[in-house]
Amino acid sequence: MKKNIALAAVASLFLFAACSKSSEKAEDAHAGHDHAAEASSTEEVAVAAEEETDNVASADNTVLEITIKGGDDMKFDLSTIKAKAGQKVKLTLVHSGKLPKASMGHNFVLLNNGVNETDFAAKALAAKDNDYIPAGSSNEIIAHTKLVGGGESDTIEFTAPARGAYNYICTFPGHSALMKGKFIVQ
C-alpha cells in the first residue's frame, strides 16, 4: 500500500512539474530535449504503479495459514495474530498437551468487536454440550473451532473481518483469563 502511494506521488510530481512551468520556461525547456524519452519515462512510472497495484491485490488473495497451539498449561502459543482485511484465513488449533478434552479442552473463538470476552465466557459455561459455544451467539462470533483434547486438532477457514483489533479466547471453563489474544486486521 505504501509503495502504491509512493509511486502515485512520484507520478503526480512528474505531471505537476510538467504542467506548472510558465510559457517562457516551457519554450526554453523545449530546446535540446527528447519528448519521446520524457513520455516513455512517464509511461514506465504508470506501468510500474499498475504492476504494484496488481501485486498488492494478489497478495490479498493469498490464504493466511496459521497454527496456534494450546497445551495443558492453559496458554496459547500466540498472543497476536495479524491478517489483512478480507484475507482468507486457514487456522489450525492444535492441543499440544495430553489431557482429554473433558478436563482440559481447548477451542479458539474469535469475537466480534464490542463483545466483552468475560461476559461471553460466562455465557459459554452453560454450553458444555455445544463445545462451550453459547446457542444464539453467532452475531458475537466471527469464527470458532470445535473443542479439542490432548493430541487433537481442528482446522477452520474464514475471511478476516474489517480493519481493527479483535479478541480471541478459549471458552472452556476457567481458560479465558489466560488463553486469549488479539487478532489484528490491517
CA separation for the pair 105, 71 (Å, rounded): 9
Higher pLDDT, 23 or 94: 94
CA separation for the pair 141, 115 (Å, rounded): 9
Burial class (CB in 10 A: 0-12, 13-18, 19+), 135: exposed
Higher pLDDT, 134 or 45: 134
How many other β-carbons are positioned within 10 Å of the β-carbon of residue 93?
A: 24
Tens-place pLDDT, residues 23-81? 444 444 444 445 444 444 444 434 334 433 333 333 457 999 999 999 999 999 999 99
How many other β-carbons are positioned within 10 Å of the β-carbon of residue 151?
A: 12
Query: Would you state the pLDDT for residue 55?
Result: 30
pTM comes to 0.68
Query: Would you state the pLDDT for residue 18?
Result: 42
CA terminus-to-terminus distance, the chain: 11
Evaluate whether 133 touches 77 at the Cβ level (below 8 Å): no
CA separation for the pair 168, 113 (Å, rounded): 10
Query: Would you state the pLDDT for residue 61?
Result: 76
Residue 150 cell numbers, joined: 490432548
